[in-house]
A and B are shown apart, each in its own frame.
Chain A
């Protein structure tokens, strides 16, 4: 027994089995999320979603996966072969790498890094490379336009995302995800940083290229964007696997750093199963919110997307950092975080709402009836 224990204590073996768990988790999450999204959006749209494969269609993702695996791997004759085949992995690998630093309970993660937050942001920023390569290699104009849009979008929105997280790490005084969660034992950071949470989620939705920020894939404009020429398993890696894993990772991160992770509100005395329940509950809530927005919002235009980022999110992110700095430097009480951040968010919302080019809706010219 002690031999076996020693075997598992070996640092490489330890890393390996933890990686396997994360890999399994990722595959499960992707399959589950495709099902959940179809069901959830189906309900929003007054449909049932998949119902035929298994009870309530639960085997639909498996059927989909088999179909995708059996499909012919098409490649346009004029595509750049090496780049075309490499692109899905360029997009997917960074997303998978982000999962390595995410703790799921107080004691379980692949590796706890002191700079975990920084690592997460740095690595997830690489995904854009895969999309650009995919768009360029496909030798299609739709794909190229989509790739250019993706590049502009993801790189722009990386900035407010990082700044929002930076503002938050000022509160926690750490970039270690476990330490940040421990810090929120009593009050989750969303209470202190409503503006930061808004910025983070807005940037995250954009990072996932979901509505209202899905200009990259925009079916009605560029008919699928960078992955228009992909089919079968490559499409699956580039689109489904990357996107859902990314969504899961970002929502886990948000529930760790803003919603108190496994700690709030139950504390640690309940043991790891409850910590897992808390974590996945919070994560799923955020994921469903993103899907809800995805189902009901129209898409912004590409210039509106850019001005939303640079003219609104970025100044607000700087404001959040500045306000946090003020509170910390002058040692104001904790609740001033909430007041400054919340008031800024409300004022910004009000200004944006009143200054939108809404105009007065056209009204009816009532003409004399016979």
Chain B
């Protein structure tokens, strides 16, 4: 029996709406948390605020023009997305990019992985409560690489530099020196952030054993990228399903042991160092030569057929499923988003934790809403 007095004192769970306009949602993600006191008992994610129909738009333009939608979809790792798209088209068209173009692509993709992880570190540190200091540290380093991209492509965000078959123009004369310098600078920059964050006791207590996901669960959810590797599974498409010329480089695949937020952070930190290694090797090996195939057709017509191309993007497996029925335009283009798959594990990771942890866990997924909503 509940008396009237007791019913008045009954505690209720409240719904707290986080997003789409909230400092912690990394764009326009929205989640509705049901909280009991400070504990999260349920979470309902809402996506789609940034849906712009990139897949459908790609069907209405030819293969050369469709490239730009990749920039706008994956707006933090544009080169990686462009590379996936170009390789899908090339595989169907039977084009083989020349050596030099391959190396340029690898260098740019790995540099872009570094900038993307810098972005993650800055935003993630802000989620754990650092007052912008880690953010400015990360962005100073990111800016050095950004300047190279800017000088090369004339754009800071929507590069549109790769082409099916190669790249659009050759790199400037001082490209090698600049990239070599930025590699050294990146090592310094990562060490700076290491000293600021990695061994900070508060940072560790905030991240250790938070948002743990087990290895079988990670596989079941279809997680990929650092999220998966933090669970201890050394699965990296650059190694397990080598594409382009990744089989020519020496690099390690960092993995975690706990599968928690802190491991995801550590894995990303180490990946940046490995990317620097790859870039340095690629610079050594980069040959001179053409940047587009000799007989590249001016208007690309693909034979009927379908292809699935997947690459290891900073956030995980980025896939392009391309169906052609002949002609200049794709019949269907499907983007497999790593962020979307990684987000599906959100509920399992968040429920039972504190509100403050929910924010940190969401940050550790490292979502790009353009890619999630496409």
Interface: A296 (CB within 8 A): yes
Q: How far is the CB of A353 from chain B (nearest CB, A)?
A: 7
Interface: B204 (CB within 8 A): yes
Given A296-B133, A302-B38, answer yes or no on A358-B247 (Cβ-Cβ < 8 Å).
Answer: no
Q: Which residues of A lie under 8 Å from residue B196 when comparing CB positions?
A: 296
Q: Interface 1/0s, chain A 109-124, versus B by CB < 8 A?
A: 0000000000000000
Interface: B234 (CB within 8 A): yes
Interface: A300 (CB within 8 A): yes
The answer, among A218, A298, A364, A369, for a CB contact under 8 Å with B202, is A298
Closest to A152 in B: B38
Q: Which of A180-218 contact B (CB under 8 A)?
A: 211-212, 214-215, 218
The answer to whether B128 and A299 have CB atoms under 8 Å apart is yes
The answer to whether A365 and B255 have CB atoms under 8 Å apart is yes
Q: Which residues of B lie under 8 Å from residue A301 when comparing CB positions?
A: 205-206, 354, 356-357
Interface size class of B (residues with CB under 8 A): 35 or more
Q: How far is the CB of A69 from chain B (nearest CB, A)?
A: 26
The answer, among A219, A302, A304, A366, for a CB contact under 8 Å with B252, is A366
Q: Which of B332-374 contact A (CB under 8 A)?
A: 354-357, 359
Interface: B239 (CB within 8 A): yes
The answer to whether A47 and B208 have CB atoms under 8 Å apart is no
Interface: B243 (CB within 8 A): no
The answer to whether A221 and B202 have CB atoms under 8 Å apart is no
Q: Which residues of A lie under 8 Å from residue B262 when comparing CB positions?
A: 361-362
The answer to whether A300 and B205 have CB atoms under 8 Å apart is yes
The answer, among A211, A299, A353, for a CB contact under 8 Å with B356, is A299
Q: Interface 1/0s, chain B 228-260, versus A by CB < 8 A?
A: 001010100001000000011111111111100
The answer to whether A364 and B16 have CB atoms under 8 Å apart is no
The answer to whether A369 and B250 have CB atoms under 8 Å apart is yes
The answer to whether B205 and A304 have CB atoms under 8 Å apart is yes
Q: Which residues of B lie under 8 Å from residue A211 when comparing CB positions?
A: 129-131
The answer to whether A45 and B136 have CB atoms under 8 Å apart is yes
The answer, among A47, A215, A364, for a CB contact under 8 Å with B254, is A364
Complex: A33 Cα to B265 Cα, angstroms: 35
The answer, among A297, A304, A359, A364, for a CB contact under 8 Å with B200, is A297
The answer to whether B201 and A362 have CB atoms under 8 Å apart is no
The answer to whether B140 and A357 have CB atoms under 8 Å apart is no
How many positions in chain A have a CB within 8 Å of any CB in the partner chain? Answer: 43
Closest to B236 in A: A367
Given A46-B137, A362-B266, answer yes or no on A367-B356 (Cβ-Cβ < 8 Å).
Answer: no
Q: How far is the CB of B127 from chain A (nearest CB, A)?
A: 5
Closest to A219 in B: B23
Interface: A98 (CB within 8 A): no
Complex: A302 Cα to B205 Cα, angstroms: 12
The answer to whether A298 and B234 have CB atoms under 8 Å apart is no
The answer to whether A297 and B356 have CB atoms under 8 Å apart is no
The answer to whether A358 and B204 have CB atoms under 8 Å apart is yes
Interface: B263 (CB within 8 A): yes
Q: Interface 1/0s, chain B 153-184, versus A by CB < 8 A?
A: 00000000000000000000000000000000
Given A220-B126, A223-B23, A357-B209, answer yes or no on A365-B355 (Cβ-Cβ < 8 Å).
Answer: no
Q: Which residues of B lie under 8 Å from residue A45 when comparing CB positions?
A: 132-133, 135-137
The answer to whether B129 and A302 have CB atoms under 8 Å apart is no
Given A46-B140, A212-B129, A295-B133, answer yes or no on A223-B22 (Cβ-Cβ < 8 Å).
Answer: yes
The answer to whether A220 and B133 have CB atoms under 8 Å apart is no
Q: Which residues of B lie under 8 Å from residue A255 when comparing CB positions?
A: none
Given A298-B203, A300-B206, answer yes or no on A367-B234 (Cβ-Cβ < 8 Å).
Answer: yes
The answer to whether A298 and B16 have CB atoms under 8 Å apart is no
Q: Which residues of B lie under 8 Å from residue A302 when comparing CB positions?
A: 38, 354, 356
Q: Which residues of A lie under 8 Å from residue B254 when comparing CB positions?
A: 362, 364-365
The answer, among A220, A361, A362, for a CB contact under 8 Å with B23, is A220
Interface: B62 (CB within 8 A): no
Interface: A145 (CB within 8 A): yes
Interface: B24 (CB within 8 A): yes
Q: Which residues of A lie under 8 Å from residue B23 when comparing CB positions?
A: 219-220, 223
The answer to whether A361 and B266 have CB atoms under 8 Å apart is yes
Complex: A297 Cα to B3 Cα, angstroms: 48
Complex: A362 Cα to B251 Cα, angstroms: 18
Interface: B125 (CB within 8 A): yes
Q: How far is the CB of A219 from chain B (nearest CB, A)?
A: 5
Q: Which residues of A lie under 8 Å from residue B14 when comparing CB positions?
A: 141
Q: How far is the CB of A207 from chain B (nearest CB, A)?
A: 18
The answer, among B24, B131, B253, B270, for a CB contact under 8 Å with A295, is B131
The answer, among B24, B232, B250, for a CB contact under 8 Å with A220, is B24
The answer to whether A362 and B267 have CB atoms under 8 Å apart is yes
Complex: A301 Cα to B247 Cα, angstroms: 44
Interface: B198 (CB within 8 A): yes
Given A45-B133, A298-B206, answer yes or no on A370-B247 (Cβ-Cβ < 8 Å).
Answer: yes
Could you write out 29 A-B pairs with CB less than 8 Å apart? Answer: A45-B133, A46-B140, A141-B14, A141-B15, A212-B129, A214-B129, A220-B126, A221-B359, A223-B22, A294-B131, A296-B133, A296-B196, A298-B125, A298-B197, A299-B129, A303-B38, A304-B205, A356-B201, A357-B208, A357-B209, A358-B208, A359-B208, A362-B256, A362-B257, A362-B267, A364-B255, A369-B252, A370-B249, A370-B250
A residues neighboring B (CB under 8 Å): 41, 44-47, 141-142, 145, 211-212, 214-215, 218-223, 294-304, 353, 356-359, 361-367, 369-370
B residues neighboring A (CB under 8 Å): 14-17, 22-24, 35, 38, 125-133, 135-137, 140, 196-198, 200-206, 208-209, 230, 232, 234, 239, 247-258, 262-263, 266-267, 270, 354-357, 359
Known pairs A221-B355, A300-B202; list 13 more (Cβ under 8 Å).
A45-B136, A141-B16, A145-B38, A215-B356, A294-B131, A297-B200, A299-B128, A299-B356, A304-B205, A357-B204, A358-B208, A361-B262, A365-B253
